[in-house]
Amino acid sequence: MTIPIVPTSQLVSAHGYLDRVIEELRVLESPQKNTLVNVLQYLSDHIRITRDEIGALRTGGANPQMFSTTADELEEIVTETARAANRIMDAAEAIEQAAAEAPAPLATKLTDAVTNIYEASAFQDITGQRITKIVRALQSLESKLNSLVCAFGPLAEGESAQGRDGDEALLNGPQLEKNASSQTDIDALFDSL
């Protein structure tokens, strides 16, 4: 028996190829064919089930724009918080200017309060970086899901390996608070190097 090899990475083509092999095996008279046919049929059935499940993703009401919409909304949060932070800063700078004309004890109190506002305003930078990380994760997930749904094939070689190396591997953004190093930790580490 000669079966033409169809070079493709697409699951849909591979499935058709598998079914053709099964049909060609069925007509053989070899006594060992049944075991092989059963195994191949088992594989074929599972591929069909998987295809149906992925097909349901396309037709089952899932919004294909869900990820990009969510990413857009998260980016909007970054924009809005930046706007809010700048308004807070406008107000703090106005207080600081007024403090310069106030009597000494009051001026000191006002300036200290303004310093606290400046420090606290850094939240926008931290939350912005965290949200950006989430947006990138969503975009990556969206890309992979689209590949799966549209091409219906396995991930391209190397696509699953998202490992970064060199300096790029050092860019991880803010750590979660429970894992984060404090300034004291950083100082101790820095001094030990």
Partner 1 sequence: MALKDMRVFIVDDYNTMLRILRNLLRQLDINNVDEATNGDTAYQMLQRTPPDLIISDWNMQPVTGLDLLKKVRSDAKLKHIPFIMVTAESKTENVVAAKQAGVSNYIVKPFNAETLRAKIASVCPAMV
Token representation of residue 173:
């953004």
What is the C-alpha to C-alpha distance for residues 96 and 102, in angstroms, rounded to an integer?
A: 10
Binding of partner 1 by 126 (CB under 8 A): yes
Identified binder of partner 1 from the candidate list 11, 67, 71, 124, rule CB under 8 A: 124
Residue 170 within binding range of partner 1, rule CB under 8 A? yes
CA angle 135, 122, 120 (to 5 degrees): 130
Residues 58-97 that bind partner 1 (CB under 8 A): 82, 85-86, 89, 92-93, 96
Asked if 185 contacts 93 with a C-beta cutoff of 8 angstroms, the reply is no
Nearest CB to partner 1, comparing residues 40 and 110: 110
Is-contact 36 9, C-beta < 8 A? no
Q: Which residues bind partner 1 (CB under 8 A)?
A: 82, 85-86, 89, 92-93, 96, 111, 115, 118-119, 121-126, 128-129, 167, 170-175, 180-183, 185-186, 189-190, 193
